[in-house]
Structure 1
């Protein structure tokens, strides 16, 4: 029992390190309005700055998504923390738009190294038989960290001095503490190889993973697309359409979506993995409908409800997707398969967000948001129908609890 307690402590500490890194990726969210005032750029530029992060994530996942399978989890995560620290330094030094691009790109490198490696690391540190709980710790650390970023930055920007500097100084200190924790934690890869053995990889899947990967990827894409729009343009919508210029409120609204995702992930254990995917798609559709209502009638309540409902749906779908993919993956390919899932997810963050930014100029923020919602609603409805039909075919013979 004491051994399990100590093992869970290490698992939780690894999750905390994961959360610190991911918090840095959303830290600038409530600050974009201040950067717009300081550097004088458009809403399209905001979405491009945001999407640069996603391109950094995808690039690293494709070039080194399997690196931790070869060289070990800790070396890869230490490099991720180094990129997170470099990103914070860029924002602290920002004197123009180029610094923001550099900071977001480095933040994407950090997240790209962490998403697959840290998820697997947390699961591997758990005691035998603790896979379900460890999967929740990993996904909750991911989404909880993403939620803490805008909340921390919004509070500091609104109620403390130096709004464009203090959030990144605090994060830099947290990254340093995380590096010390990571150096204390054990390595979980027994047979490590040289870095030279790591090769760029095209997205590929072992045959046994392919049947579960399709629906998992669809749900992940739509959920992350909703989060992408929320984190990139919702502060501007709150300020321009609802006259909400409190940075703490903007950060809280964005954070609610990520915290609701964590709650949705927790519910998967009760709902079951197979049912969580279609239910998550249904909740995502409801969240999109609420966001459409918020854009149409300029209601803060609907924005909040959209964050809560859509975030819960994303959590339900994403944890079920991650659990199914991880369970189906061979151990020596697990990190690379999970990285491939994240490539699809981060494509959802980048491409639709830039599309919204491009459309904002000719048709306005409301019109661009409604076009995005319509496209995502068609996609998630198609996925939901497919998943419900698949559930009806498989439930009588293969129903089982979430992993």
Structure 2
């Protein structure tokens, strides 16, 4: 019997990157459809943001439980199961005829994405070029935000111009996930089985003592970044329709694309810069971009709205990179997973909870006033991040630059 075909290291690496891109494409795909579902089924803005938040909470649950399971069972079994679970979530979306289907679809999608993200991120590090030990982290971050950008744009395009807007994008994604699961049979397994799988399912999130001061300093920036992401991915299409009076669904997708694409640009351009400088620059851009976006909403200026969203997006990517780079090197290798789990807990709670609060506030204050209040809080947090970021080199940064052999910092979690 002939041995199964296996791809060599380089094509296997890019196949894993393509699978991650597909995951994040799917994560953004429902956003341009939220206003369509809302118009069809008449649910409130509060329920719309609950549908959005369910995804984030189940993703967080998966990241903190099964996120590291591939270290014990192997990468490929977890990837097969996660990608097929993603396909089942897309089927729930395609068959949705009420709010219950949407809640179930987002829950399944969130858990599957969280489970697959840990395994795919590990594969990218396992298969990255041996001469470039940071390339896996770079591709992981770029694929995550690029997928969100392309997903929001592609979904908005299909919703606006293609037939069966509530079905077609998900039918294509079902085919994509099934094909991805089949294609991943060709990559080599990079982690063998070992004992401890059951114990690894116990959620662990802890900030080591050596990183606590830096973590507290980074908190305002982390919360500002992810709260802004939650606002855009849940309510941006509604803002485009209800405040800017843009009735083209492609525009709602383009708003999200602008934020995430410039976020990728910010993190890539500032890679390798000192964490304190990156964080302060990102926080300043985030604050100014959000305030400018609020001014654009008040003036009903579409051009200013997109320009300021781009500035806020640049700050989004830079501020998160700076915050993460300031705390990650302060943890020992055996403490790093728990530290990342703590960062994920803060990030995804900030991503989901404020958006839900905003959704339930809309019926009482209106969409514009809610967005202004939400944006003002984000701008204040970004300003606080700028102020609390140390102006002098921290010991963690020195460690980061000296320890070139250490594991690379992961710049992005998956939205």
Match of 1:338 in 2: 340
**1:112-169 deviations in whole A, cap 9, x for unaligned?**
2234333333223212342332211001111111222211111111111110000001
Match of 1:76 in 2: 78
Match among 362, 367, 382 for residue 364 of structure 2: 362
The runs of 5 or more residues in structure 2 that have no matched partner are 1-6, 409-415
CA contact (8 A) 1:274 1:399 kept: no
The Cα RMSD (Å) is: 2.6
Match of 1:252 in 2: 254
**1:352-374 deviations in whole A, cap 9, x for unaligned?**
10111121111111111111112
Cα distance change on mapping 1:332 and 1:67 into 2, 3 Å:
farther
* Equivalent pairs, count: 397
Tell me how far 1:351 sits from its aligned partner.
0.9
Cα distance change on mapping 1:50 and 1:333 into 2, 3 Å:
same
Cα distance change on mapping 1:342 and 1:184 into 2, 3 Å:
farther
SS in 1 for 2:201: coil
CA contact (8 A) 1:116 1:335 kept: no
Cα distance change on mapping 1:332 and 1:320 into 2, 3 Å:
same
Match of 1:46 in 2: 48
1:238 aligns with 2:240: yes
CA contact (8 A) 2:221 2:381 kept: no
CA contact (8 A) 2:291 2:376 kept: no
Give me the whole-angstrom Cα distance separating, in 1, the residues matched to 2:30 and 2:77: 27
Match of 1:36 in 2: 38
Match of 2:166 in 1: 164
SS in 2 for 1:130: coil
Match of 2:3 in 1: none
Give me the whole-angstrom Cα distance separating, in 2, the residues matched to 1:372 and 1:253: 17
Give the TM-score, by structure 1 length: 0.90
CA contact (8 A) 1:287 1:307 kept: yes
Q: Higher helix share goes to which structure?
A: 1
Match among 286, 289, 305 for residue 287 of structure 1: 289
Tell me how far 1:312 sits from its aligned partner.
1.1
**Which shows bigger deviation, 255-264 or 289-298?**
289-298
Give me the whole-angstrom Cα distance separating, in 2, the residues matched to 1:249 and 1:392: 42
SS in 1 for 2:255: helix
Match of 1:317 in 2: 319
Give me the whole-angstrom Cα distance separating, in 1, the residues matched to 2:334 and 2:273: 30
Cα distance change on mapping 1:289 and 1:44 into 2, 3 Å:
same
**Which shows bigger deviation, 132-141 or 337-346?**
337-346
SS in 2 for 1:17: helix
SS in 1 for 2:394: helix
The runs of 5 or more residues in structure 1 that have no matched partner are none
Give me the whole-angstrom Cα distance separating, in 1, the residues matched to 2:240 and 2:58: 28
Tell me how far 1:208 sits from its aligned partner.
5.1
Tell me how far 1:70 sits from its aligned partner.
2.7
Match of 2:148 in 1: 146
Match of 1:185 in 2: 187
Give me the whole-angstrom Cα distance separating, in 2, the residues matched to 1:180 and 1:331: 34
Give me the whole-angstrom Cα distance separating, in 2, the residues matched to 1:10 and 1:290: 43
Give me the whole-angstrom Cα distance separating, in 1, the residues matched to 2:382 and 2:199: 39
**1:220-273 deviations in whole A, cap 9, x for unaligned?**
332121111011111111111222111112111211111111111111236443
SS in 2 for 1:392: coil
Tell me how far 1:6 sits from its aligned partner.
5.5
Match among 223, 226, 240 for residue 224 of structure 1: 226
Match of 1:196 in 2: 198
